[in-house]
Structure 1
Amino acid sequence: MDAAAARLASTASPLAWLGWEGPRARLIFGPGMIQLTRADAARRERSAARQQAAATTAATTLATWLVEGQRDGEDAEAYEARMGRVSGALPLTEREITEWSRKSRANMIKTLASLDWTPMYAEFALPAMTTLTYPGDWLAVAPDGKTAKRHLEAFLKRFQRAWGAEWLGVWKFEFQRRGAPHFHLLSVPPPGTAGAAIDAAYRERLDAYERGEVARKPRRRTIEHHGLGYKEWLSATWNDIVFAEVEEDMTRVEEEAGYPDPRRDHLAEQKRRHLGAGTNVSFEEGAKASDPKRLAVYFAKHGSFKAKEYQHIVPAEWQEPGKGPGRFWGYRGVQKLTREVELAPGDYLFVARTMRRLRARVQVWDPATRTHRWTKATRVTEVTRYAEGVRPAWSGYSEVIGLAGAAYMEPVKARRRKVRRPVTRFSRGAGFAVENDAPELVETLTRALVACRGPEVQAARRSEEVRQVVRRRRLNRVTR
């Protein structure tokens, strides 16, 4: 990546950004992502300053509205709701989250293709896709999105205690057809058994104590499900986490009431079934993430995976304000790895047009000829089709009178169909694309940029370099 960025920067035109106010044409790339942007830093700073001033005014107004007593015309229910927002019992926003937004999907694809996966594959181990699901009566154990995220956080903490290392990988939050949430985690399953790292550390401290290097005898620590393999430990640990809060509430109710809770038998049956079917570890699914592009596309499940878009629709039980799922994806233990190069407007335009033509076609596998072939890049979308090709007419009148207006009132049958439409990327000269090997593509773009420059362009470049040197010298004399 450093070599590709240095080569592009050395061949770029001297007309690149030199500190003046205005758009900055830049090419940003990572292991599997190339982005073209013309952001204006000064304009963003001014917009941020205006937003900060507006946020301060809105916060002052909101604080005044919240602490105000019951006003004229406000009923008791509205007053209690407002006081609930003041105390934190109710959310401040009334916005409902119903599905995964396009912006979040695009951010996930760009981020996953920009991460450095070296720490996860350092031991040359095979990755696996771990699935964490919920029982049949999932609303009893996960009434909202915050509870599900607490379960995930508890699982990651127990993983670190059991295996002696932080969990490395990426996770995705989805929903099944029945509405139950589940997590997909891509990581490398740890070898050995749970608690092996704790046992090794204990033996080292015990040997040091016996040699007289430590005055205090160490204590032997134990963890939940000590000595189990990863798959067995995964099932038992996730089962305990999912039912922990419900069991605590049930025990508290039994202590207060003084008799067993009638839901205890149902909970025991749900827990028994969930122990055998609540988790899954698939190396076959993990092998699909062979490069950053395939990893990002697989987790997005969009475009060619449009049939699985239902997994991103929030169930009705979670669509109330404050019960939403929150973030749909995240990663741990890995960092972003990107490089950026300043480009001149002419070079930027050439690279943008080249990328637009390049991404207009994709290479697919043809099973008939058993070879790769190039075809138009398409995406799956839904369109509305009407009976006999006639769209329903619309009348601006509230009342339709006579036989002439009866046609407007006849219902027209409409159905939704899935069709493939061409995809146009970098339509406005900006955007990003995921690649199997982004540094190699950057080097290819650099060679194309140099090859397309004629002698007149090279001469203009040399004269422009001289003008820039003279300009810098004059500015230095003025600022001294």
Structure 2
Amino acid sequence: MDGAAALLADHVSPLAWLGGEGPRPRLVFGPGMVQLTRPDAARRERTAGRAREARPKDATALAAWLVEGQRDGEDDEAFGLRMGRVTGDVPLTEREITEWSRKSRANMIKVLASLDWSPLFANFALPAMTTLTYPGDWVPLAPDGRTAKKHLETFFKRFERAWGTEWVGVWKFEFQRRGAPHFHLLSVPPFGKAGEAAYDVRMAAHKRGELARKPRRRVVENHGLGYKEWLSATWTDIVFADIEEDMAGVEAETGHPDPRRDHMAEQRRRHLGAGTNVNWQEGAKASDPKRLSVYFAKHGSFKAKEYQHVVPEEWREPGKGPGRFWGYRGVEKLTREVELAPADFQFVARTMRRLRSRVKVWDPKTRKHRWVKATRVTEVKRYAAGVRPAYSGYSEVIGLAGAQYMEPVKVKRRRVRRPVTRFARGSGFAVENNAPELVETLTRALMACRGPEVEQAHRTERVRQIVRRRRLDRADEIPLSRSPQEWDKIRQARVTDPSKH
């Protein structure tokens, strides 16, 4: 990546930036992603400044609105709702999350293709896809998205205690047809036994001099189990911990067994045997950053399992949403960026647009790859006999003619494949199997398409920038030809008698 960035930086036009404000075209790339962007740093700074100035005013107004007493004409229900937002019992927002947004999906693909996956695939490790599900009666165990994310965070902490290393990988949040949430985790399963592996890791760190005190053996949850057995037992304990604590509290208060005890015991028994899964075949599909990112978004790309991104009715109330649908731990972003001239930026954008207009697919009949147009699945409306519904700008229907005019038309919805145009306005991103190699190819294409007149203009502009930079460096040493008072007299004389000047 450093070599590709240096090659492009050495051959870009000197017209990249002349010191003024406005958009500054840049090419940003990672291990599996190439992005063209035109950020405006000055505009962003002004926007951030206005946001900082408005934040105290908004906080003051919100505090005054929340702690204000019962207003005139405000009923007790509305007043209790407002006070609930003060105490935190009621969420401040009333927004309902119904599905995974398209923006979050695109952001996930871009970020996953920009990560440095070397910690995950170090020492030729073989990753696996781990699935964490919930039992049949899942609503009491995970009443909202915050509880489910708490279970996942608890799993990461117990993983570190049991195996001595931080969990490294990427996770995805989805829903089954019955509405139950489940997690997909791509990581490298550890070897050895739970607890013993953590002791071996700490002892190795002590021998390397990283730990001053010699570690002692600790007994962790489900000590001595292999990864698959430990995974099933640990995830079951995490999922049923809250409900079992609640039932124990009820039994302590009433002195009688909780009526949910037998039902939850049966749910726990079933979940212990089928609540988790480890699949190395699915993990082997993540052979490069592009395949990894596309795999996690394949349902959104091909619309095969889009129901997994639809939030169930139990979680659609305000404050119960799932939150983020994806995330990563133990890996960091790895990107490089090079500033381009407007002409070079336009050339690269047009090249990427033509390049991404087709994709390479595998043809099982010929057993070879072939290039086809890039398409995506979209939903269209079909009307009976090609009749579209009439539109009226009036808010009310007047008379029989108006009623016939506004008569509803039967609509059928179909899913079709339509060509997709990427980099339509120059900006955008694309995922690649080897992004640094593509950047080197774009650099060679940029140099090959430059004519001698373009090179001469670039050399001339380079000389001008060098002279301008030297003049700016010596600006403090050059004395002023006239004082500010003399310049004021000259301006006044021009205003009084323009003919003499």
Q: Which bin holds the TM-score, normalised by the shorter protein?
A: over 0.9
Cα pair 2:131 2:182 within 8 Å, conserved: yes
Contact kept, 8 Å, 1:301 with 1:309, in 2: the verdict is no
1:62-461 matches, within 5 Å, as 62-200=62-200, 220-302=217-299, 304-395=301-392, 396=394, 398-402=396-400, 404-405=401-402, 407-408=404-405, 410-461=407-458
Q: Deviations over 1:246-266 (max 9, x none)?
A: 000000010001110011000
Partner of 1:462: 459
Q: Look up the match of 1:50.
A: 50
What residue ranges of structure 1 are gaps of 5+ in the alignment? 208-212
**Which secondary structure state, in structure 2, belongs to the residue aligned with residue 382 of structure 1?**
strand
Q: How many Å separate the matches in 2 of 1:345 and 1:249? A: 64
Task: Output one character per residue of 1:300-330: Cα deviation in whole Å (capped at 9) or x when no partner.
Answer: 1345421211111111111111111111110
1:462 maps to amino acid: R
Deviations 1:312-353 (A, max 9, x none): 111111111111111111000000000000111111110011
Answer yes or no: is the 8 Å Cα contact 2:191–2:197 preserved in 1. no
Residue type of the alignment partner of 2:230 = W
Q: 1:228-254 CA distances to partner (integer Å, 9 max, x unpaired)?
A: 111111111101100000000000010
Q: Does 1:5 align with 2:18?
A: no
Q: Alpha-carbon deviations, 1:363-384, whole Å to 9, x = none?
A: 1111121111111100001111
1:393, distance to aligned residue in structure 2 (A): 2.2
Are the equivalent residues in 1 in contact too, given 2:397–2:403 (CA < 8 A)? Answer: no
Partner secondary structure for residue 364 of structure 1: strand
Once residues 33 and 204 of structure 1 are traced to their aligned partners in structure 2, the CA distance between those partners, rounded to angstroms, is: 37
Fraction of identical pairs, as percent: 76
Query: Helix, strand or coil: the match of 1:39?
Result: coil
**Matched residues in 2 for 1:241 and 1:351: separation?**
51
> Are the counterparts in 2 of residues 350 and 449 from structure 1 also a CA contact under 8 Å?
yes
What residue number does 1:21 align with?
Answer: 21
Would the alpha carbon gap of residues 261 and 118 (structure 1) be closer, same or farther in structure 2, given more than 3 Å must change? same
Shifted more, 142-151 versus 121-130: the winner is 121-130
Task: Note if contact 2:27-2:36 (Cα within 8 Å) is conserved in structure 1.
Answer: yes
Deviation at 1:432, TM superposition (A): 0.6
Structure having the higher Rg:
2
Q: Distance in 2 between matches of 1:97 and 1:200?
A: 45
- Per-residue CA deviations over 1:445-473 (Å, capped at 9, x if unaligned) read 00000000111111111111111111101
Instruction: Give the superposition deviation at 1:205.
Output: 12
4+ long deviations beyond 4 Å: 201-207
Structure 1 Cα separation of the partners of residues 411 and 247 of structure 2: 50
Compute the displacement of 1:202 (Å). 8.4
Change (3 A) 1:202 1:160: closer
How far apart, in 1, do the equivalents of 2:267 and 2:261 lie?
A: 10
CA distance in 1, matches of 2:226, 2:192: 6
Aligned-partner Cα distance in 2 for 1:408–1:307: 39
**What secondary structure is seen at the aligned counterpart in 2 of 1:118?**
coil
Q: Describe the SS at the equivalent of 1:123.
A: helix
3-state SS, counterpart of residue 324 of structure 2: coil
* Contact 1:202/1:220, CA 8 A, preserved across alignment: no
TM-score, normalised by the number of residues in structure 1: 0.95
RMSD across aligned C-alpha pairs, in angstroms?
2.0
Alpha-carbon separation, structure 2, partners of 1:128 and 1:198 = 20
Q: 1:219 deviation in Å?
A: 5.5
SS of the residue 2:140 aligns to: helix
Pair 1:202–1:303, CA change in 2 (3 A): closer
Q: Distance in 1 between matches of 2:434 and 2:307?
A: 31
Q: Distance in 2 between matches of 1:370 and 1:349?
A: 37
Report how many residues are paired: 472
Q: Which digits, 9 at most, give the CA deviation of each residue in 1:427-451, with x for residues without a partner?
A: 1110111000000000000000000
Flag structure 2 segments of 5+ consecutive residues without an equivalent.
Answer: 478-501
Measure, in 2, the Cα distance between the counterparts of 1:276 and 1:242.
Answer: 14
Q: C-alpha offsets along residues 190-225 of structure 1, whole Å, 9 cap, x if unaligned?
A: 111211234437889999xxxxx98xx975410111
In structure 2, how many angstroms separate the alpha carbons of the residues matched to 1:220 and 1:11? Answer: 58
- Stretch moving more, 82-91 or 435-444: 82-91
Residues in 2 aligned to 1:200 and 1:293: alpha-carbon distance in whole angstroms: 35
1:61 and 2:89 correspond? no
Aligned partner of 2:487 in structure 1 is none
- Distance in 1 (CA, whole Å) between partners of 2:88 and 2:369 is 58
| Corresponding residue SS for 1:140 | coil
Paired residue secondary structure (1:421): strand
Check the 8 A contact 1:32/1:434 in 2, yes or no. yes
Find the aligned partners of 1:204 and 1:415 in 2 and give their Cα distance. Answer: 65
CA distance in 1 between partners of 2:34 and 2:442 (Å):
11
Does the residue aligned with 2:183 lie in a helix, a strand or coil? strand
Query: How far apart, CA to CA, are the structure 2 residues paired with 1:205 and 1:4?
Result: 37
Q: Distance in 2 between matches of 1:198 and 1:172?
A: 26
Residue type at the aligned position of 1:82 = R
Distance in 1, Cα, partners of 2:80 & 2:314: 23
Matched to 1:340, the amino acid is: E
Shift, 1:18, TM fit: 4.8
8 Å CA contact 1:303, 1:379 repeated in 2: no
Structure 2 CA distance for partners of 1:195 and 1:367, relative to 1, 3 Å: same
CA spacing shift, 1:255–1:219, aligned 2, 3 Å: farther
